[in-house]
């Protein structure tokens, strides 16, 4: 067991899978992925020529570049994330945090899907082939003048929180949620870029300079790496605000300016809250100037009070009272989207049941076999009336008490004959 797993009992379900920590080499022995992603060992150049055709470059980051490629086999388009770092073995590739995280998170409707992994043993290059999306949320609002509708942004944030809720339930937090890492296609949101993920159950301190500064929670700025999965929710609140007004909420120029920008909007926190940060960082002077804060409402005069309340819950300075992803999904603000989700899910389940019943024949029972026999040999319709039985005792009545017609006819003929003889 590695040093980050001490807080989990040995029978915890996450011990049966990979926990995303720094010591990924030891954890690889216990990996048990839900979905097997193929690792193709071969030349990247051969991969490009024989399997995929490179269309163009989508973007480039600090650690990777993203290419648009097309499958030669079926013509489908994919996004190829080519890592800049070099690796020596397949084991190193499989122990990458991003690879482990994507294997465990897939499949989910709001998580980018990993199609396959390509490793060039000679050059040490690794490429992750994922599904292709149209754009990210930053590209959606970059240079835009007309505001997005609140309903549209609300739908985007609901999907983003669903993806994060899935991550947190599995035991992973993202640490770099920002508009550039939230992808969009046909009004469907998918979370991407899992290179900075960590385990929810690992122990701090973590890396201090993680996440992009504008979306960094106060506990990331004011402590020596003592933060948790709730930092993701702070980032969601910043993204929510930015999509609604097309401007970042806390655009700090540096670490000190970032804290000042937060206090300008939210106000200086109370001594009770600041004391939670003090014992986690002895090098910072926490005697901040007192500010009341201008509030989020100043930047969002066109937005409903319900949306503003949600943002305040997400960017709560106190990480203990900050709302979680699961709690966010249960808010009254998202009730209509929750109900739409339930209706959609019920339709999918009903269609699935119908298709299963059509494909899978029902097992025949003994009753069905009897019915089939009766259909093959149809019997004559039986008379519901009780059958007449021959009068064997000369009483003129059957055993059911009914008079025998033949007997009565004979008596009538005899009386008529006697009467005719008298008349003569």
**Structural domains of the chain sorted by starting position, each given as residue range(s) with its CATH number in brackets:** 18-131 (3.30.200.20), 135-342 (1.10.510.10)
Instruction: Report helix, strand or coil for 278.
Output: helix
Predicted structure pTM score: 0.74
The pLDDT, as a whole number, for residue 404 is 61
pLDDT at 375: 54
Lowest-confidence segment of 178-187, 198-207, 349-358 by average pLDDT: 349-358
pLDDT for 272 beyond 80: yes
Answer yes or no: 224 catalytic: no
Report which secondary-structure segment, H or E, holds 239. Answer: helix 231-245
* pLDDT at position 366 over 50: yes
Q: What is the pLDDT of residues 239-268, one digit of tens each?
A: 999 999 999 999 999 999 999 999 999 999
Residues 6+ apart with CB under 8 A from 47: 40, 118, 120, 127
Rounded alpha-carbon distances, angstroms, from residue 28 to 39, 92, 115, 252: 15, 10, 20, 39
For the stretch 68-74, contacts whose Cβ atoms lie closer than 8 Å and that sit 24 or more positions apart, written own/partner, are 68/132, 69/129
Q: Which residue in the list 22, 74, 120, 176 is annotated as catalytic? A: 176
- What tens digit of pLDDT does each residue of 373-423 get? 555 555 555 555 544 434 434 444 444 444 566 667 777 777 777 766 665
For residue 76, what are its two tokens?
Answer: 């489908």
> Helices H, strands E: what count in the chain?
15, 11
28-68 pLDDT per residue, tens: 333 444 556 666 555 454 455 468 888 999 888 888 899 99
The predicted pLDDT at position 3 comes to 37
Check residue 284 and give its pLDDT.
82
Q: How, if at all, do strands 125-131 and 172-173 pair?
A: unpaired
The whole-number pLDDT of residue 395 equals: 47
Nearest-angstrom CA–CA distance, 182 and 122: 33
Q: Measure the CA angle with vertex 134, ends 40 and 124; round to 5°.
A: 25
* Structure-token match 């994330």, residue found: 81
> Is 311 within 8 Å of 328 (Cβ atoms)?
no
Distances (CA, A) of 416 to 337, 407, 421: 96, 15, 9
């Amino acid at each position: 067991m590695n040093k980050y797993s001490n807080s989990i009992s040995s029978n915890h379900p996450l011990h049966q899978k990979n926990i995303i920590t720094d010591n990924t080499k030891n954890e690889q022995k216990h990996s048990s992925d839900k979905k097997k992603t193929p690792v193709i060992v071969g030349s990247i150049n051969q991969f490009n020529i024989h399997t995929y055709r490179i269309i163009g470059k989508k973007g480039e980051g600090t650690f990777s570049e993203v290419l648009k490629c097309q499958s030669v086999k079926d013509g489908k388009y994919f996004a190829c994330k080519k890592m800049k770092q070099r690796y020596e073995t397949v084991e190193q590739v499989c122990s990458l945090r991003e690879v482990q995280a994507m294997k465990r998170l897939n499949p989910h409707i709001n998580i980018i899907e990993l199609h396959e992994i390509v490793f060039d043993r000679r050059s040490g290059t690794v490429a992750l082939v994922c599904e292709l999306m149209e754009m990210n949320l930053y590209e959606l609002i970059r240079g835009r003048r007309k505001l997005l509708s609140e309903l549209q942004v609300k739908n985007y944030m609901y999907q983003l929180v669903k993806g994060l809720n899935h991550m947190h339930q599995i035991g992973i937090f993202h640490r770099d949620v920002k508009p550039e890492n939230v992808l969009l296609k046909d009004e469907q949101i998918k979370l991407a870029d899992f290179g900075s993920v960590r385990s929810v159950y690992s122990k701090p301190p973590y890396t201090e300079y993680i996440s992009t500064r504008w979306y960094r929670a106060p506990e990331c700025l004011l402590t020596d790496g003592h933060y948790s999965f709730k930092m993701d929710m702070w980032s969601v609140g910043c993204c929510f605000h930015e999509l609604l007004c097309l401007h970042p909420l806390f655009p700090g120029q540096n670490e000190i300016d970032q804290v000042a920008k937060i206090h300008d909007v939210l106000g200086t926190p109370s001594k009770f809250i600041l004391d939670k940060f003090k014992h986690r960082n002895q090098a910072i002077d926490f005697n901040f100037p007192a500010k009341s804060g201008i509030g989020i409402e100043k930047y969002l005069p066109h937005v409903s009070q319900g949306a503003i309340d949600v943002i305040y819950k997400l960017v709560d300075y106190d990480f203990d009272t900050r709302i979680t992803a699961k709690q966010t999904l249960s808010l009254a603000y998202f009730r209509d989207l929750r109900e739409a989700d339930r209706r959609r899910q019920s339709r999918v389940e009903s269609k699935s049941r119908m298709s299963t019943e059509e494909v899978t024949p029902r097992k025949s029972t003994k009753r069905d076999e009897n019915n089939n026999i009766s259909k093959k040999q149809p019997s004559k319709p039986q008379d519901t009336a009780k059958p007449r039985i021959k009068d064997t005792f000369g009483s003129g009545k059957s055993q059911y008490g009914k008079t025998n017609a033949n007997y009565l006819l004979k008596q009538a003929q005899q009386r008529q004959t006697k009467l005719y003889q008298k008349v003569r």
